[in-house]
Structure 1
Amino acid sequence: MTEGLSDHHRRLARQKREAITSSATALFLDHGYAGTSLARIAEAAGVSKSTLFKQFPTKAALFEAIVSESWQRGSGHAATPPPPPPGDLRAGLTAIGHRYAELVGRPAMTALFRIVIAELPRLPELGRMQFQLGKLPYFDSVRLYLQAEHEAGTARVPDAESAANQFLGMIANFVLWPRMLLTDWNPAADATGHAVDEAVETMLARYATGHQK
């Protein structure tokens, strides 16, 4: 019985947390980060101020959570995306590419980038949070995967940092960045899949050892 109540309470806490982060993201977009108070977020989320302050004592802590959780949704809520095992470069890149396209194609990710860009001149720390807590850990997981393929001999990647930039950049350039300027940019799943497949083929042509192509 106690275990059931504990599970119930954990589920309620998770639902409240999701309501808070969702409401905060919407308010930050509409009113700006500086123009949104924690009290206003609590009201929009339908929770008490004490509940919100218990989970997020400051607005910065709330924004950090939004950034971290937005990027972790592409990795099964792990701290960083678990890379595929080395040995099959095509399969590994395909898995990473589709996961990344799904992640950066989420409306919540577009909203996060828009908040950061809008507030960057006044609050550069938001940009640092987005980079250090979100983009950099995700990027490092891809870099480490490419290093592992290089060490396994299935790829020749002398500069894994550049290679990770190239691969993720090809995908983001189709899936994410047009959304920043075009409100109606919403490519179909097959178009996104084709963009990922083409990025994989480009990486294979550049980095795969002969037997991997």
Structure 2
Amino acid sequence: MSKPAPPPPDPQIADGPAGKVGLILSAARHLFLEQGYGNTSMDGVAKRAGVSKATLYVHFESKERLFAEVIDGARSRLREALVTITGNEQIDPAETLRLIGQQFLRFVTTQEVLTLFRAVIGETQRFPELGQTIFQAGSSDMLTLITDSIAQASARGTLRVENPKQAAAQFIALTKSDLHLRCLLEPSFQANEADIQRNVDAAVAVFMSHYGPRPR
């Protein structure tokens, strides 16, 4: 029995302003999710996208760069949400952190993102530069957004933080706790909203107990 034909690239992307770049990214995303990083070839991406290899290499010089762009595209909505949250200085810092934690944890526990995470973890032995590239493709700017928000709250006196960047990294680690690892290692397990809220509430409580303003 022949295998069913793979789904075409997303029409929303194909018809968008990105044109061929959108087609390429959509095709690459499908293949990385279906086959993993190691089994996906630039030839396969070009064929799936319906473009020539020359066109593919004009926009993406390597598979590593293409994978980084797929990861960054997945992160874009999270980044936009964090920009909105951290841009509102009127919100209590505990509530700001709660909103950040909810958006972040919902993102990293989606099936698509978990599959991409597994692809990175599974290939770092053969492609040691991959993990660093993926980290740089989006983690640093999200960490910067959270760092700046914590620094601003500290400047207003609503937090007491000497090293905002370290505190931001600690908050991300507290938010993920063991929930993210369980989702990675148990594909049959799916975090629900109650799991996410419980993790985030605990992370905010621990963070504020250490970095919150001293009681008068």
Into which bin does the TM-score normalised by the smaller protein fall? 0.7 to 0.9
Aligned counterparts of 1:190 and 1:16: Cα–Cα separation in 2: 40
Match of 1:72 in 2: 76
2:160 touches 2:213 (CA, 8 Å); kept in 1?
Answer: yes
Are 2:202 and 1:198 equivalent residues in the alignment? yes
| Gap runs ≥5 in structure 1 | 1-7
TM-score (norm 2): 0.78
Structure 1 position 93, deviation (Å): 0.7
Is 1:93 the counterpart of 2:97? The answer is yes
Name the counterpart of 1:4: none
More helix by share: 1
Distance 1:13-1:41 versus aligned 2 partners, 3 A rule: farther
Give the whole-Å Cα distance in 1 for the aligned partners of 2:57 and 2:169.
Answer: 38
C-alpha contact (below 8 Å) 1:74/1:102 kept by paired residues: no
Inter-partner Cα distance in structure 1 for 2:45 and 2:28: 6
After superposition, the C-alpha distances for 1:164-202 in whole angstroms (9 at most, x for unaligned) are 122111222244221221011212112212221221122
How big is each residue's C-alpha offset from its partner over 1:70-100, in whole Å with a ceiling of 9 and x where there is no partner? 22220228xx845244452122111211111
Q: Secondary structure of 1:201's match?
A: helix
User: Bigger CA drift: 94-103 or 47-56?
Assistant: 47-56
In structure 2, do the counterparts of structure 1 residues 110 and 29 end up closer, same or farther at CA, with 3 Å as the change threshold?
same
After TM superposition, the score normalised by the length of structure 1 is 0.79
Number of paired residues? 202
Distance change in 2, residues 1:127/1:18 (3 Å): same
Deviations 1:6-43 (CA, angstroms, capped at 9, x unpaired): xx998445476555434424433554434322221233
Q: 1:55 to 1:190 in 2, by over 3 A?
A: same
Tell whether the 8 Å contact from 1:72 to 1:81 is kept in structure 2 after alignment.
no
Letter in 2 for 1:129: T
Matched, 1:107 2:118: no
Partner SS, residue 176 of structure 1:
helix
Aligned with 1:183: secondary structure?
Answer: coil
The aligned residue for residue 181 of structure 2 is 177
Give the C-alpha shift of residue 102 in structure 1.
2.0
| 2:148 corresponding residue in structure 1 | 144
Q: Distance in 2 between matches of 1:16 and 1:42?
A: 10
* 2:134 corresponds to: 130
Percent identity between the aligned chains? Answer: 26
- Residue 3 of structure 2 is matched in structure 1 by none
RMSD, matched Cα: 3.0
Aligned partners of 2:43, 2:203: CA distance in 1, in Å? 45
Structure 2, unaligned runs of 5 or more: 1-11
